[in-house]
Structure 1
Amino acid sequence: MKRLLVSLLCFVLLAGCANVPLESQPVVVPGERQGQGSGDVVAEPRPDLDPLTLVREFVRATLKPGQNNAAARAYLDDAGRASWRPSRSLTIIQNTFGTVYDTNPQPDPNTQVVNVRGSDIGTLDQNNSFVPDFSSALLQVKVRKQPTGQWRIVDPPADLYATESDFSENYTPVPVSFYSESSNTFVPDRRYVVAKPQSGLPGRVMDLLVSGPSTSLSGAVKNFLGEPVEIDTNVKSLDDGTLVVPLTGLAGVSDDTRNLIAAQIVLSLQYVTSARIRILADGAPLVPNHPDWRLNDLPAYGSTLSPSLELQGLMTVGGRVRSLGDGSPVPGPAGNGGYDVVSAAQSLDGKRLAVVEREGGGVRLRIGDMGHDLSQVALGGTTLSRPTWRPGTGEVWTVVDQLSVGRMVVNQNGVWTALGVNATDLNQQGEISELRFSRDGARVAAVIKGELWVASVVGVGDSVSLREPRHLQPHDLEDVVDVDWVAQDNLVAVTKSTSQPVVRVTVDGQRMDAFNSSNLTPPVHGVTAAPGRQIVVADMSGLWTASVLGEVWRPQAHTMKDADPFYPG
């Protein structure tokens, strides 16, 4: 009987153990950030921490792995551990920050108020997008000595705070793709997802796709994965490595749209997986006879938005337009001195030219075919910014007197008409000296009072608005004089600075990197860039080229003093 009981007990234990998984697959809960689940054992802080150190370590523990912000929750008193429900907003502060006692005396010697001194870098909003905001970190934390003699936080902040380095270590940027109908291409929307566990990254990216574009692109792009489309079950990997993305809610969707949905998914997931992607709709292949996808299965979306390699770029110098390829003047009045050219822009296909011509005490805009007379259009003023061509539309934009954005549209008869742009949100930031369209047409970059700004382009019928302006790198980037798009989600800007005359900035302003300044003679006053092309900058001595960060600038083959370069677009 004893042997029988032991055998039965072992059988029950083994059966129970068989139901305990060795590793659980991550389940993505919409809206949760790292460390906002439940069930982790809280490890106690080091003993005998003073209030200042306690608060510093509390901030440092915010993004440590663990559910329910367990590592940070350990610094709270018992009541705080049970009741703390921080918001989904994450405030990112500079790595160097201080903690000091509040100057107001506390009536209870066992209670202290600690002020966190530092600077905000920005916030990670509820869409997991970075919003730059440089300001003083306003954070007060009350701590109280517990019966155990240990100090603990008794009023934890409503929002999460983390340092810039901790944020970079725990979150990975992912350009999530949404569709631009005007330019027939996909636009990257830079978002941030929790980096670990790595196996959960595809699921977290898919959640962002279904939730739609960030506020910065709302109205400027289209999401094919919005309502009523949903993720049917968890995104998972099969034994052969294939990643399965199961969707539902696609009944009646056309084949063309299904192909665009597949492209949107594959383009977004390429940054977090190299596996084959099997896209299902209610259990069947999303696209009939095409269950599995890789990046090379997609058409070259956006390839027509970059200038042909045969178009080597142009420059304005001495009132004329010349070729960057050989330095010779372009044919027609723009090159032979017929116009006193201040600035110019070539259309993406290279067939048209827009020039700002100096006339009397002001300037006028001319547009026409390359090599021919350019028609003077109904747009002029004291100043006009360098023209920029709106992708997919044939429109030419320029800023009039640094205040209003002028928009020229051509009809079938070749007649150019001036239309308005609702740029109120951007105008409110100050005088605009430069404006440049992104290659996909969904955004503009602007130089406003020496600062770098980005806004979305929202079109409804014939009307166009510039919305959601964002100030990039407000603390570290100033005296900007020119800007261009080196990629869809990266800009290159030039400044009057001698220490960092050329910088690359992400479209959300989360990161900035300086180019090598060797060989340059500041101040730098002009820049042009395009995907797959060398960056060309203009300084006091002429034109210089480079391709990547850290590369030494080399003289452009046909450099000229006082030249301003520009690629088509």
Structure 2
Amino acid sequence: MNGMFGRARTALVMLVSAALTAGCAAIPAESHPEALPQQRPGQPTDAVPEPAPGLDPLTLVREFVEASAEPAADYAAARAYLSQRARQQWHPDQNVAVIEDEFSTVYGQAAPDVPDTSAPDTDAETPRPTEDGDGGGNGGGGNGSDNGDDGGGDNDAAGPQETTRPAPPQQTSEPTATSGPPEQVVTVRGGHVGRLGVDGAFIPSDEPVAQSILLRQEEGEWRIVDPPRSITITASDFEETYFRVPVYFTAPEANVLVPDVRYVVARPQSGLPARVVDLLLSGPSSGLTGAVRNPLGDTASLETNVTTTRDGALSVPLTGVGDRSQQDRELIAAQVVRSLQTVTTARVRLLSDGGPLIDGHADWRPGELPAYEAAATPSSDLPGLMVADGRVYSLGSGAPIEGPAGAGQYRVRSAAQSLGGDQLAVVEPRRDGAHLRVGNYGDALQEVDVDAESLTRPTWFPSTTRGEPSREVWTVSGGERVLQVVPDGDGRWVAQSVNSAEISPMGDITELRVSRDGTRAAMIVGGKVVVAAVVRDSDSRTSVSLRAPRVLQGDDVSDAVALDWHSQDTLVVATRSESRPVLRVPIDGLRVDQFNSSNLIAPMRGITAAPGRPTVVADSTGLWTASDLGDVWRPHDQRSPSAVPFYPG
């Protein structure tokens, strides 16, 4: 017997030795560093409890929507409200529908003749209920494919179609967990605020939501068997769950940083920098595609993960940017550091293939960057202008400007000063319609050959190089034709059409303001505020289109009369409303903020704003100024009752 155990021990030792030898042979002598998948938001998580027993279908669906605001562990909290089979099959796409806080859940008609799927091993997939409450139709939510198309235009504003189907006929009975039919359709109804696309950009919408969800009893409790493909959460939960981050790209023809507002999951906070860098590497959002340039390019990636070093720096180890020019490397440093400044206070250590991205300067703070925004900001020595009684005056001194425009020779209706201050464009009314004049500030202005019944107030593009004159001004003829006015080979200003086909179906354009970085256009179309990207043809650079238009707060803002760019990502809007005469709206349209209405008398006639400057509004009595939302409007030094103000741009 002892000999038997001895032989067994010998054999065991030999087997272990062989296994260790084989294992050692499989270990590589060297491994290359690589970026590992970033930690999923919210991981790890404790076991999620089941819903409270005895919930009726309406309450269960409402709690499901509330639980959907927690993305931890692949929406484990929301998954607890699903049937066993649906829990295994539900793979929500990356779109997030955002609805108003006040929403309702109502009963629909249960789908007849649907196989029982209460058991997890059921072999038939549950059909999604149709608008009539019947089974079948357009496929179940459990195996829904990623419907992550994030293109611009009206389709964006409408939101995911699978979440907005009409409600089925209401049923008067209100089943509980222990009575009533074995299945129910519950419809979630509410106002649609918008949706978060796969690129992390918020896309506004004012379409109503009517999302039908099928439930069945499983072991005496109601559970969702047909979960929606996209997550639906309330606006308050969205603001609590997601963190607003402007990520930066550059204007295509100037070294100006352009913010692209995105949203990332806020928790865990330690993962925010990595998520922001991922957004930068993936490029601009669909709403800015073609309007900006990404200095990182298509070949950039992370060599290893974004981490905090032992000395407290945030390390961003890039690869694929070794062939970039010195200018592009400096722009990369600017876009990365500026994008990270809202999620970290640490030094940013920028590396390229293991060494400093910029020789001799590895660690960066925002204050060390050049003032790239200066090229999109009016100079402090330009106080702005105003039009009153057919003349152009200084908004600072109140004196008429030099030249025919200040002397009243043109009977000016509206005007715009270039960002550099050295050029002027005016609209001159005549019996045969409206005429546009463009030229040097203080000089006689050239009349542009434009046949128009009406022209909107002109708006200037920035120059491609600071200190040089601008070479482009826009206006809208007859509310429909967007005109780009540029100098020809002989130096004469000529007009050509901008492709605005995506705007035309929305209505007449009564106001147009190009952002001071030249990448976006804000418009008033039929009283609503619309923002679109300015996209230039990559070959000619003179052929321009307005793309991916989005209506901002369409339900709340429908009586706008004037607007201007308060900053690169915020607008101020003057309206006809007596209760809300002046508003501030971010360019993603997620919310609208109201200025104090004290002292203003509706309707408003004009408004102007610029970074670092007070907002000036023209009401029925004259000009008023305020620096922030809560400020009481103060009389401007220039009190002409007909004056309309404008800052350069």
**In the alignment, which of 385, 405, 423 is matched to residue 500 of structure 2?**
423
Q: Following the alignment from structure 1 to structure 2, what is the Cα–Cα distance between the partners of residues 86 and 409? A: 49
**1:124 maps onto 2:204 in alignment:** no
Q: What residue is the counterpart of 2:13 in the other structure?
A: none
The SS at the match of 1:94 is: strand
Question: How far is the alpha carbon of 1:409 from its aligned partner?
Answer: 0.8
The equivalent residue for 1:51 is 57
Tell me the distance in 1 between the aligned counterparts of 2:40 and 2:236: 17
Looking at structure 1, the residues matched to 261 and 384 of structure 2 have their Cα atoms a distance apart, in angstroms, of 29
Residue by residue over 1:335-365, the C-alpha shift from the partner in whole angstroms, topping out at 9 and shown as x without a partner, is: 2221111100111121121110011131100
Structure 1: how far apart are the matches of 2:415 and 2:45?
62
Q: Report what 2:486 is aligned to.
A: 409
Q: From 543, 555, 572, give the equivalent of 1:475.
A: 555
Q: Is the 8 A contact 2:109 2:184 kept in 1?
A: no
**Deviation per residue, 1:360-394 (Å, 9 max, x gap):** 13110011222221111112411000000011242
In structure 1, the residue corresponding to 2:199 is in which secondary structure? coil
1:389 aligns with 2:460: yes
Q: CA deviation at 1:63?
A: 1.7
One-letter amino acid matched to 2:76: A
Q: Contact conserved, 2:401 with 2:442, CA < 8 A, in 1?
A: yes
Residue 86 of structure 1 corresponds to 92
Could you tell me how far apart the structure 1 residues matched to 2:36 and 2:505 are? 40
Q: Which residue number in structure 2 is paired with residue 75 of structure 1?
A: 81
Q: Is residue 518 from structure 1 mapped to residue 589 from structure 2 by the alignment?
A: no
Matching residue's letter, 1:451: K
Q: Hey, what does 1:5 align to over in structure 2? A: none
Amino acid aligned to 1:418: A
Match of 2:623 among 543, 561, 565: 543
| Correspondence for 1:99 | 105
Residues 534-564 of structure 1: CA deviation (Å, up to 9, x unaligned): 1000000100001111111101011210211
Please tell me the residue identity of whatever aligns with 1:73. Answer: R
SS of residue in 2 equivalent to 1:278: strand
Q: How many angstroms apart in 2 are the aligned matches of 1:241 and 1:47?
A: 49
Letter in 2 for 1:113: V
In the alignment, what sits opposite 2:536?
459
* Structure with greater strand percent: 1
Which of 203, 213, 237 in structure 2 is aligned with 1:166? 237
Q: How does 1:272-291 map to 2 (within 5 A)?
A: 272-291=343-362
Query: 2:97, 2:230 within 8 Å by CA — same for their partners in 1?
Result: yes
Q: 1:365·1:376 contact (CA, 8 Å) conserved in 2?
A: yes
Which amino acid is 1:458 matched to? V
Judge which range, 57-66 or 166-175, deviates more: 57-66
Q: d(CA) in 2 for partners of 1:128 and 1:33?
A: 15
Unaligned runs of 5+ in 2: 1-34, 114-179, 464-469
> Residues 105 and 84 (structure 1 numbering): CA distance in 2 closer, same or farther, change over 3 Å?
closer
- Choose which of 186, 200, 207 in structure 2 pairs with 1:135: 207
Q: In 2, Cα distance between the equivalents of 1:327 and 1:224?
A: 44
| Distance (whole Å) between structure 2 residues aligned to residue 389 and residue 105 of structure 1 | 59
Instruction: Provide, for residues 434-455 of structure 1, a one-character-per-residue CA deviation record: whole Å limited to 9, x for no partner.
Output: 1101011000000000010001
- State whether residues 379 and 406 of structure 1, in contact with CA within 8 Å, keep that contact through their aligned partners in structure 2: no
Equivalence map 1:30-45=2 (5 Å): 34=41, 41-45=47-51
1:478/1:178 CA distance change after superposition, 3 Å:
same
> 1:87-142 CA distances to partner (integer Å, 9 max, x unpaired)?
11100000000111115686781211111111111110010100111111121111
Paired residue type of 1:555:
P
**Matched position secondary structure for 1:76:** coil
Q: Which moved more, 1:305-314 or 1:161-170?
A: 305-314
CA RMSD of aligned residues (A): 1.7
Aligned-partner residue type, residue 423 of structure 2: R
Contact 2:241–2:265 (8 Å) recurs in 1: yes
CA drift at 1:474: 1.3
Cα offset, 1:154, TM superposition: 1.2
Q: 2:226 — aligned with what?
A: 155
1:160–1:38 distance in 2 versus 1, CA, 3 Å = farther
TM-score normalized by structure 1? 0.92
The answer on whether the counterparts of 1:91 and 1:122 sit within 8 Å (CA) in structure 2 is yes
Deviations 1:192-241 (A, max 9, x none): 00111111100000000000000000001111223211011111112332
What SS class does the counterpart of residue 492 from structure 1 fall into? Answer: strand
Q: Is 1:432 aligned with 2:509?
A: yes
**Map of 2:217 onto structure 1:** 145
The match for 1:109 is 181
2:427/2:434 contact within 8 Å kept: yes
What is the rounded CA distance, in whole Å, between the counterparts of 2:41 and 2:347 in structure 1? 27
Task: Spell out, residue by residue over 1:253-300, the C-alpha distance to the aligned partner (whole angstroms, 9 max, x if none).
Answer: 222211111111011111111110001111111111111011111111
| DSSP 3-state at the match of 1:484 | strand
Alpha-carbon spacing, 1:244–1:117, altered in 2? closer, same or farther (3 Å) = same
Offset at residue 183 of structure 1 (A): 3.0
Specify which of 549, 552, 557 is matched with residue 632 of structure 2.
552
Q: Which residue of 2 aligns with 1:243?
A: 314
> How far apart are the structure 2 equivalents of 1:111 and 1:420?
58
Asked which structure has the greater CA Rg, the reply is 2
Inter-partner Cα distance in structure 1 for 2:443 and 2:70 = 64
SS of 1:551 mapped into structure 2: coil
Give the match for residue 329 of structure 2: 258
The alignment partner of 1:95 has SS state of strand
Q: TM-score, normalised by structure 2?
A: 0.81
Match of 1:441 among 495, 498, 518: 518
Q: Structure 1 residue 407: deviation in Å?
A: 1.3
- The answer for the alignment partner of 2:396 in structure 1 is 325
CA shift at 1:34, angstroms? 4.5
Task: Give the corresponding residue for 1:185.
Answer: 256
SS at match of 1:118: strand
* Aligned partner (choices 475, 481, 484) of residue 398 of structure 1: 475
SS of the residue corresponding to residue 611 of structure 2 reads coil
- The Cα shift of 1:65 comes to 5.3
What is the count of residue pairs matched by the alignment?
540
CA contact under 8 A between 2:36 and 2:304: conserved in structure 1? no
1-structure distance, mates of 2:426, 2:390 = 10
**Equivalent pair of 2:450/2:495 in contact (CA under 8 Å):** yes
Q: CA deviation at 1:42?
A: 2.7
Task: Indicate conservation of the 8 Å contact 1:55/1:114, yes or no.
Answer: yes
Structure-to-structure mapping, 1:16-35, within 5 angstroms: 29=37, 34=41
Q: Structure 1: where are the runs of 5+ without partners?
A: 1-26
Determine if contact 2:41/2:268 at 8 Å carries over to the other structure: no
1:490-513 Cα distance to aligned partner (Å, 9 max, x none): 000111111111111111111210
Q: Which runs of at least 4 in structure 1 moved beyond 4 Å after TM superposition?
A: 27-30, 32-35, 37-40, 103-108
> Aligned with 2:518: secondary structure?
coil
In 2, distance between residues paired with 1:112 and 1:551?
52
Q: Distance in 1 between matches of 2:71 and 2:199?
A: 21
Once the 2 structures are TM-superposed, how far is the Cα of residue 28 of structure 1 from its aligned partner? 8.2
Deviation (angstroms), 1:59: 0.1
Partner of 2:387: 316
Tell me the secondary structure at the aligned position of residue 418 of structure 1: strand
